[in-house]
Amino acid sequence: MLKKQLICIVSTVLILAGAVSIVNATTFRFDTDPFEGSDALTTPGRQIVGGETFISFNIASDIFSLESTVFNAGNEVLFANDVVGNLPTSGKNIIVLQTFDNDGDPTTPFGAGNAANLIAAQVTSPGAGFFIYFNSGLDLPRLVYSTDLDDNTADLKVLFRMTNLTGDDGRAAIPTFTESNFEITTIPLPPTMLLLGSGLLGLAGWRRFKEN
């Protein structure tokens, strides 16, 4: 009897611990036009649009939620996390870059454009996507959207700045990002559209019933 009670207690503790973990998770959503208010897409050459949201991101639990209807990057997460030379040359739309400079010199400024250039030199298949890189000047990682990971002139929009992952600890945390930190969603039909669709189906069914 005592053994069964202990098992129940342990099970309850584990369930509660899991529930606390879920409660503490934060989803950082981006579902608006990334270049809204900018002339980036109509200006020749690469444009880097800042104005990102400053966040504290817990890699162990938090999620970036990216809406497929505003990003032309597909509707599923295709993830890679590695140094630039080991990245797949195609088939990925979310990249975490473990390379922190572009010439082996950590004192050289390393920004979104530098990271995008390294990725573009490695990736051989065109396609929009996202990447996380560590900005040397800001001393922290940022999440960036690229209109084409394969193109070193593609426009970039910085989405989020992770203010808690700074310095050497922040660099050390970069390899711990996983596919579970990302989701790509598709906005469902608004309730009014669903109701309209249900009404039309119901009307069609009623007409068939009357005809029979």
Supply the pLDDT for residue 105.
84
Cβ atoms of 112 and 140 closer than 8 Å: no
Give the mean pLDDT of 70-90. Answer: 97
Is the confidence at residue 54, as pLDDT, over 80?
yes
Q: What pTM was estimated for this model as a whole? A: 0.79
- Mean residue pLDDT of the chain comes to 85
Domain assignments of the chain as residue spans, ordered by start: 27-187
Give 157-183 as a DSSP string. Answer: EEEEEETTS-HHHHHHHGGG--GGGEE
Identity of residue 153 = T
Question: Are 49 and 34 spatial neighbours (Cβ–Cβ below 8 Å)?
Answer: yes
Strands (DSSP E) along the chain, which ranges? 27-30, 48-49, 53-55, 63-67, 79-82, 94-97, 129-135, 140-146, 156-162, 182-185
Determine contact, residues 158/38, Cβ cutoff 8 Å.
no
pLDDT tops 50 at residue 17: no
